[in-house]
Amino acid sequence: MIPINPQDDISTAVYLAIKLASKGFTITFINTKGTHHQIIKSQPQEDGNDDQNIFAGARKSGLDIRYKTVTDAQMDELVGNIAGADPSVSCLIADTVHSWPSTIAKKYKLVYISFRTEPALVFTLYCHLDLLKAFEDVKKAEFILCNTVEEHEPHAISAIREKQPIYAIGPVLDNEQDRDIVAASLSYVLINKLDIEEIAQELLLSKVSFIWVLRPGTVSYAESYVLPVGFEDEIKGRGLTVPWCNQIEVISHPELGVLNTLWMELSAYGVVYQMLCFPILSDQVTNRKLVVDDWNF
């Protein structure tokens, strides 16, 4: 399995790897060295444990997930070594954004499965852009796995299915009724300090409990402290700001009820009751369209 680099995409691929391994499949997860080091730096290190395998916990629970790190230039060679050393290796699952998976899969006689972490609707938009080599390559896949929920995007999935087999892998989690905590995260986007201050003021005025993932470097210029003066004192007992979090653990909390428009969170539930939309880039504009216009959340 070969994901692409952004954290949300890595997280979704990790979930898929664990889900497949729990069904009895043996998975080799291939990550780039640069992305691997970023993930390891963000994780708390336990005393006496220098295990840098991001699947260490899954392996301890009995799941057969192997973990490899590699540079982009060595990807072909590594896949060949894995396939050559183990005749049971039968397929290559790679993110749709990559433009070379079908070539490598054909070279080593593997079934090629394309995996897309964004909405099916975004996939249909990309397919109309003839210059995107990756979406020429995906046409050679045996089928597509999409990080979405069938009931959320029936029309987009049906449109893709007319041309190629596609399967939705969501929802990740069971939906709960009693949820009243807000979770906010701005992904890897850069915004200005005024936007940060406005979000902070709205959270203060809301009087609700919340967790706010405020990644270092979120503001597009260097400044040691970007939150309003006194903000952390005012939120004591009901609010938490953190530089990083485990998305799955947060969105699976039984009291979480309001999310923002990261597709990782949207695809986790069969139903979402309340959403806050602040689209800036990538698939976020499409996410907002689905949430507001189609789903009325």
- Number of domains, the chain: 2
Residue of 205, 199, 208, 203 lying closest to 180 (CA atoms): 208
Same domain (yes/no): 162, 250: no
Q: Give the per-residue pLDDT at 177.
A: 46
Q: Which residue has the tokens 């993932």?
A: 213
Residue 118 within any structural domain of the chain: yes
The backbone torsions φ and ψ at residue 111, rounded to the nearest 5 degrees and listed phi first, read -75, 130
**Which strands sit side by side in the sheet containing 143-146, from one edge to the other?**
91-95, 111-116, 143-146, 166-168
Walk along the chain (297 residues) and give the pLDDT tens digit of each residue.
Answer: 999 877 778 888 988 999 899 999 999 999 988 778 777 766 655 544 445 778 888 888 899 999 999 987 889 999 999 999 988 899 999 999 898 999 999 999 999 999 998 889 888 888 776 656 667 889 999 999 998 888 889 999 999 999 999 999 877 555 544 556 777 777 667 778 888 888 889 888 888 888 888 877 666 555 656 788 888 888 888 888 887 776 666 766 656 655 555 565 555 555 455 677 777 777 788 888 887 888 776
- CA dist 250 → 64, 77, 89, 226, 287 (Å): 25, 37, 34, 24, 20
Residue 142 within any structural domain of the chain: yes
Q: Which residue has the tokens 């979704």?
A: 12
The backbone torsions φ and ψ at residue 45, rounded to the nearest 5 degrees and listed phi first, read -95, 125
Q: Give the per-residue pLDDT at 176.
A: 47
Same domain (yes/no): 154, 195: no
Judge contact between 101 and 107, C-beta under 8 A.
no
Exposed e or buried b per residue across 82-110, where buried means at least 16 C-beta atoms within 10 angstroms of its C-beta:
bbeeeeebeebbbbbbbeebbebbeeeeb
Q: Which two tokens stand for residue 235?
A: 């939120």
Same domain (yes/no): 209, 233: yes
Taken as a whole, the chain contains a residue count of 297
Residue 2 within any structural domain of the chain: no
Residue of 252, 249, 272 lying closest to 260 (CA atoms): 272
Residue of 150, 207, 179 lying closest to 272 (CA atoms): 179
Residue of 163, 147, 142 lying closest to 265 (CA atoms): 147
Same domain (yes/no): 12, 83: yes
Beta bridge partners of 289: none
Residue 176 within any structural domain of the chain: no
CA angle 70, 104, 139 (to 5 degrees): 120
Residue 159 within any structural domain of the chain: yes
Q: Give the per-residue pLDDT at 154.
A: 92
Same domain (yes/no): 142, 189: no
DSSP state of 45: P
Distance CA 139, CA 166 (A): 11
Q: Is 170 helix (H, G, I), strand (E, B) or coil?
A: coil
Q: Give the per-residue pLDDT at 195.
A: 85
Same domain (yes/no): 122, 23: yes
Greatest alpha-carbon span in the chain: 61
Q: Is 204 helix (H, G, I), strand (E, B) or coil?
A: helix
Residue 153 within any structural domain of the chain: yes
Residue of 221, 187, 179, 227 lying closest to 203 (CA atoms): 227
Same domain (yes/no): 74, 149: yes
Judge contact between 168 and 146, C-beta under 8 A.
yes
Same domain (yes/no): 66, 193: no
Q: Which two tokens stand for residue 283?
A: 């698939």
Domain that holds residue 203: 181-295
Same domain (yes/no): 148, 209: no
Same domain (yes/no): 190, 132: no
Residue 138 within any structural domain of the chain: yes
- The pTM for the full model equals 0.72
Same domain (yes/no): 61, 101: yes
Q: Which two tokens stand for residue 110?
A: 């593997």
CATH number of the domain enclosing 226:
3.40.50.2000
Same domain (yes/no): 219, 191: yes
Of 134, 168, 202, the last residue of a domain is: 168
Residue 175 within any structural domain of the chain: no
